[in-house]
Amino acid sequence: MLAFLQGKLAAVDKEAVTIEVSGLGFQLQVPASTLERLPALGSEIKLHTYLAVREEGLALYGFWGQDELAIFRSLLNVGGVGPKAALGLLSALGSLKLRLAIAQGDVDTLTRAPGIGKKTAQRIVLELRDKLSCEISQFDGGDKKVFEEEEDAVTALVALGYNESEAGKAVRAVSAEAGGALQAAQLVRLALKRLAGKV
């Protein structure tokens, strides 16, 4: 089993990255949350991996954190959910928001992901809700608070006209720099500066 790849970030595409390892280039399909965290080209990088073996060939998927890989694996155990759909869910919602949506039975949020209809969303909730509810209950309260503040900040930026992807990237960046200690209003102010190119 290929657990991870560590090497030089050689190329970045819309939904994929190429990592050079000992002279070989490995292309991995990745979710948006991983794309947002990538360092500059040529930097050292380590991604956790999942190798999908299908009739049409092999496909390699990469994830910044093990939490992303874990929820990706869980989704693949749901009937009718393949790697493409699982990756789409992660890209659209992110790991924690996806887990919360499933644990809370929030079918409408799940259907925001491309290719996920109501029936598939209901199946995901039915098969994973109990497992993820248990995991969510073990989350540190501080992590939940940080997530909620970030979500509120992203919502505010979207209301100001920014798209959700760029707003999320800016908010997560300033939140990480501050160690998750900021409230939504502070995150919005700093994210606006970042989006305006002032920081």
CATH number of the domain enclosing 53: 2.40.50.140
> Domain check: are 129 and 71 in the same one?
yes
Tell which wins on pLDDT, 155 or 102. 102
**In this structure, are residues 173 and 190 in contact, taking their beta carbons and an 8 Å threshold?**
no
Per-residue model confidence (pLDDT) at position 20: 96
> SS3 of 27, please?
strand
Per-residue model confidence (pLDDT) at position 137: 53
Predicted structure pTM score? 0.71
> Under 8 Å CB-to-CB from 102, ≥6 apart: which residues?
110, 124, 125, 128, 129, 132
The whole-angstrom distance between residue 199's C-alpha and the CA centroid of its chain comes to 24
What CATH number is associated with residue 114? 1.10.150.20
**Residue 152 predicted with pLDDT over 70:** yes
Angle at 182 between CA 139 and CA 134, to 5 degrees: 10
* Mean pLDDT calculated for residue range 108-124: 93
What CATH number is associated with residue 163? 1.10.8
The whole-angstrom distance between residue 125's C-alpha and the CA centroid of its chain comes to 18
What is d(CA 115, CA 135) in angstroms, rounded to the nearest whole number? 26
Q: Which domain holds residue 175?
A: 141-195
> Domain check: are 58 and 71 in the same one?
no
Per-residue model confidence (pLDDT) at position 142: 52
**Residue 199 predicted with pLDDT over 50:** no
Closest alpha carbon to 114 in 89, 83, 137? 89
End residue of a domain, out of 111, 137, 163: 137
> Domain check: are 121 and 149 in the same one?
no
End residue of a domain, out of 30, 47, 63: 63
Tell which wins on pLDDT, 166 or 50. 50
User: pLDDT tens across 21-76, in order?
Assistant: 999 999 999 998 888 888 899 999 999 999 998 777 889 999 988 888 989 999 99
